[in-house]
Amino acid sequence: MIEEREYDIVIVGSGAGGGTVAQELGVLARAGTRVLVVEQGPRLRDDEFTGREIDMANALYEDGGGFLTADGTMTLAFGRAYGGSTVVYTGTSLIAPERVIRRWHVPGLAHDDLERRSRKFMAQNNVHELTPELINDNNRLFVEGCRRSGWIARQFPLNLKGCRGSSLCNLGCPNAAKMGTHRVQLPNAESNGVDVVTRAEALEVGDHTVMVRVSARQQGEKGLPSEWLPGTYRIRAHLVVLAGGSIGTSALILRSPIARTIPHVGTGFTCHPAHILVAEHEHPITNDVGHPKSYYLDRAEDERFVLETCMYFPFITAKNMTGFGSSHSQFMRAFPRLQMILVLACDRATPKNRITVNAAGRPVVHYTFMPETIDGLVAGTRASTRIFFAAGAVRVHAPSADPPLIERRDAAQADALIDARHFLPGRISVSAAHLMGGCAMGQPHSAVTDSYGRVHGVPWLRIADASLFPDALEINPYLTIMALADRVAEAIRNDAGMLLGGRSALGNTASRPVSVHR
Amino acid sequence: MLYPAIGTRGTFASVLPPKLAPPLTRLHLTTLGMPRVELASVRHILRAIATTVVPESSSLDDRAWKDFEELISQALSGRDARVQRQLVVFLRLLQTLPVLRYGRKLTALHASQRSAFLESVERSRLLLVRRGLWGVRTLIFMGYYTRVDVAESIGYRANRDGWAARGGTVATVPLAPTLWVEP
């Protein structure tokens, strides 16, 4: 049996995109417009964020964090919870580079507009730089290693409030200190009358309709039961906003009959493929305490890579090192002396890399490592190795070296040891968490939406997430997603009278302040 | 934000020919109860590989091995049934292949031979084989390194209380000596 529900606006997804749209439509909800957010993942209680690796991965990530590309050579990580991936990111808040937005060449999209909106959310999310006494050795060594190598590391602005330095950001902050949409925008939206239903998977999107399956909370599962009874629902709405992320939104459209009327969906997927590099020092350092990702080195424009500090958990660390056996174990036993750097390659949209769905409607991500992407990873690995040794490391684990362990005595030969010919997919670990593209903004003949997320040819359908990116952003994407979602919400408010069939008399509300309850 | 974790869905997705795969339907419209994957038949192979991948695992007691297998079984239980079968098939393949080179099965090899064999698999020219081993080692790392006692034994000390659990911020926790020593 299918339950029927009716709303004016349905938003699919509650992460950086969906959570932002929900908040920004709060003014409509307060005036009587019925707004609903459906989120596939659960809503966790604060005391359920334990920091335990396996528990939190299963609770907060799609496929427990183990979603693989079609050929099994890269792991894609994305959140599935009230707040989406904003629950599990590190809170790094960077404004989109002007050169990237110019290169995107999206008609009507200007960098200064994105910057203005980004700054609005930076203020709302308490974005700031950590003070020196909160920077751990793992980050200080990176800064010093960069300096000694002739580079200047820059500090990440972070959206934290009350950070205690648990270092567990990627497992969901156990101290409620990360200002993701689950802490800021969604509570604001709900206080204005927006409904949020969790454990609700969008199955199909049709003409002014979203089919949703609400699942029961299984015994032993984290999170609250759904706000709705388990079952299948047909939700009718004047307007549907898709914000399920690059993969989620693309797959939802592709498995729906409406896909026939929307060309180009699933194309242009990019993800900043990444290596986790590990180095061993002689002495213990503070690494698994303090914020893990406080500094970065941006070489995107010149060498197609970005380096970021990072600190992962034992299993993730073990998995991301190449090889096995005693040398691998020796590195793991040196955990208190480990320094880590994340190498992100700046990939480019290419016809080979795209999202499809299988016969079961599940997303399938086809990704081929292009030579330029491999070059970016290799260049980033060489730079990281230089930084590690400059900071005093005694040995470095470099995935694209063979053997991967490079001792300090061989530091001078590191550039020769690290080479693209050792990049062997399926042997070395590559992962990505910046999932972008699939429903790109642009002209109707080549893209899915305009610069306000309006789907070409489908007036009742909007998109508001990273799938809008026509190419890689080359920095951490959440703030840009929020800025784009803000534009989507503004367009909806502007069009409300027309879209909602007279239910809303608000008309242009873009200039009205949205109440914020914290 | 980066959490590259278990990596099991689809790891073995192409090891079996398509004709052995179950008929696919629009599963997203239904809820499937996935059976717990049965590892008993390949337990000896999995343990032999585990002790090669993580030599310290040879000191696990029976209870710890049971937990190890339970964790892997749980991780697989939510996945496509085809993936579960592919794991079992791949483990049996790893058990048999050494006969061609060493005249003995994997579990009968000396530790050094076993290690050499798995290293050759890791460098196979066939992507399917490489990624199969990558999946197995990932499961083994998951089964071993997510144990609380193991995390403690390697010195992992992350705590929700962060700096407070260490006695304060860097003002009171000594900085790494390497920060101040020219390499």
**pLDDT score at A501:** 72
Residue position matching structure tokens 């994997």:
B106
Kindly indicate the confidence band of residue B30, based on its pLDDT and cuts at 50, 70 and 90.
very low
Do residue B162 and residue A427 have CB atoms under 8 angstroms apart? Answer: no
Residue B136: closest CA among B32, B30, B45, B24: B45
Kindly indicate the confidence band of residue B3, based on its pLDDT and cuts at 50, 70 and 90.
very low
Instruction: Name which of B3, B158, B183 is nearest A392 (Cβ-Cβ).
Output: B183
Residue A25: closest CA among A40, A44, A15, A10: A10
A170 vs A35: CA distance, rounded Å: 30
- Residue B49, chain A, CB below 8 Å: the answer is no
**pLDDT score at B84:** 84
Gyration radius of chain B over CA positions: 20
**pLDDT score at B16:** 29
Helix, strand or coil, per DSSP, at residue A199: coil
**pLDDT score at B171:** 60
**pLDDT score at B80:** 77
Residue pair B102/B15 in contact by the 8 Å Cβ criterion: no
Average pLDDT, whole number, for chain A?
A: 95
Expressed in angstroms, the distance from the first to the final Cα of chain A is 40
Report pLDDT digits (tens) over B69-125: 999 988 888 777 888 889 999 999 999 999 999 999 999 999 999 999 999 999 999
Restricting to A residues 485-514, those with a Cβ less than 8 Å away from any Cβ of B are none
Q: Is the pLDDT of residue B8 over 90?
A: no
Instruction: Name which of A282, A289, A392 is nearest B166 (Cβ-Cβ).
Output: A289
Do residue A57 and residue B3 have CB atoms under 8 angstroms apart? Answer: yes
Give CA angle at A54 (A48, A60), nearest 5°: 55
Do residue B122 and residue A427 have CB atoms under 8 angstroms apart? Answer: yes
- Residue B7, chain A, CB below 8 Å: the answer is yes
Give CA angle at B58 (B56, B64), nearest 5°: 95
Kindly indicate the confidence band of residue A500, based on its pLDDT and cuts at 50, 70 and 90.
confident
CA distances from B155 to A320, A322, B53 (A): 18, 21, 20
B142 vs A141: CA distance, rounded Å: 29
Size of interface A-B (CB pairs under 8 A): 271
Report pLDDT digits (tens) over A164-206: 999 999 999 999 999 999 999 999 999 999 999 999 999 999 9
Q: Is the pLDDT of residue B19 over 80?
A: no
Task: Tell me the nearest-neighbour CA distance from A146 into chain B, angstroms.
Answer: 12
Residue A178: closest CA among A193, A162, A199, A194: A162
Task: Tell me the nearest-neighbour CA distance from A167 into chain B, angstroms.
Answer: 7
**pLDDT score at B78:** 75
Which residues from chain B sit within 8 angstroms of residue A213, using beta carbons? Answer: 29, 31
Mutate which of B178, B180, B181, B182 to disrupt the A interface (most A C-beta within 10 Å)? B178
Question: Which helix (H) or strand (E) segment is A488 a member of?
Answer: helix A478-499
B5 vs B14: CA distance, rounded Å: 20
**pLDDT score at B176:** 59
- DSSP H helical segments within A333-434, as ranges? 371-390, 414-417
Report pLDDT digits (tens) over A398-438: 999 989 999 999 999 999 999 999 999 999 999 999 999 99
Kindly indicate the confidence band of residue B18, based on its pLDDT and cuts at 50, 70 and 90.
very low
Residue A102: other Cβ atoms inside 10 A = 12
CA distances from B18 to A162, A334, A432, B15, B22 (A): 52, 44, 28, 9, 9
Cite the beta strand spans of A312-394 per DSSP E: 338-345, 354-357, 363-366
Kindly indicate the confidence band of residue A503, based on its pLDDT and cuts at 50, 70 and 90.
low
Residue A428: closest CA among B122, B114, B48, B5: B122
Which residues from chain B sit within 8 angstroms of residue A362, using beta carbons? Answer: 27-28
Which residues from chain B sit within 8 angstroms of residue A283, using beta carbons? Answer: 176-178
Report pLDDT digits (tens) over A205-230: 999 999 999 999 999 899 999 999 99
Restricting to B residues 19-48, those with a Cβ less than 8 Å away from any Cβ of A are 24-29, 31
- Residue A159, chain B, CB below 8 Å: the answer is no
**pLDDT score at A273:** 98
- Residue A137, chain B, CB below 8 Å: the answer is yes
Q: What percent of chain A has pLDDT over 70?
A: 97
Any idea what DSSP says for residue A254?
Answer: H
Q: Number of H helices and number of E strands within chain A?
A: 14, 23
Joined tokens for residue B157 = 């000390």
Residue pair A376/A305 in contact by the 8 Å Cβ criterion: yes
Which residues from chain A sit within 8 angstroms of residue B156, using beta carbons? Answer: 288, 313-314, 335
Question: Is the ipTM of this structure higher than 0.85?
Answer: yes
Q: Is the pLDDT of residue A518 over 50?
A: no
Residue A188: closest CA among A121, A127, A245, A95: A121
Task: Tell me the nearest-neighbour CA distance from A469 into chain B, angstroms.
Answer: 18
Residue A195: other Cβ atoms inside 10 A = 18
- Residue B94, chain A, CB below 8 Å: the answer is no
- Residue A443, chain B, CB below 8 Å: the answer is no
Any idea what DSSP says for residue A65?
Answer: G
| Torsion sign across C-alpha atoms A331, A390, A385, A353 | positive
Three-state SS across B85-154?
Answer: HHHHHHHHHHHHCHHHHHCCCHHHCCHHHHHHHHHHHHCCCCHHHHHHHHHHHHHHHHHHHCCHHHHHHC
Residue pair A271/A377 in contact by the 8 Å Cβ criterion: no
Please compute the mean of the pLDDT values over residues B143-158 and round it to a whole number.
95
Q: Is the pLDDT of residue B181 over 70?
A: no
Which residues from chain B sit within 8 angstroms of residue A73, using beta carbons? Answer: 127, 131
Three-state SS across A275-306?
Answer: EEEEEECCCCCCCCCCCCCCEEEEEHHHHCEE
Residue of B nearest to A271 (CA): B2
Listed in sequence order, the residues at least 6 apart from A70 whose beta carbon sits closer than 8 Å to its beta carbon are: A364, A365, A366, A367, B10
Residue A383: closest CA among A348, A441, A423, A343: A343
Joined tokens for residue A437 = 């593209």
What pairs with residue B3 in β-bridges? none
- Residue A167, chain B, CB below 8 Å: the answer is yes
Kindly indicate the confidence band of residue A261, based on its pLDDT and cuts at 50, 70 and 90.
very high
Kindly indicate the confidence band of residue A512, based on its pLDDT and cuts at 50, 70 and 90.
very low
Do residue A325 and residue B159 have CB atoms under 8 angstroms apart? Answer: no
A62 vs A73: CA distance, rounded Å: 17
Model pTM score: 0.91
A252 vs A246: CA distance, rounded Å: 10
Distance of CA A81 to the CA centre of its chain: 13
Q: Is the pLDDT of residue A65 over 50?
A: yes
Q: What percent of chain B has pLDDT over 70?
A: 72
Residue A216: other Cβ atoms inside 10 A = 13
Report pLDDT digits (tens) over A286-336: 999 999 999 999 999 999 999 999 999 999 999 999 999 999 999 999 999
Which residues from chain B sit within 8 angstroms of residue A333, using beta carbons? Answer: 154-155
Residue of A nearest to B146 (CA): A315
Instruction: Name which of A65, A137, A166 is nearest B158 (Cβ-Cβ).
Output: A166
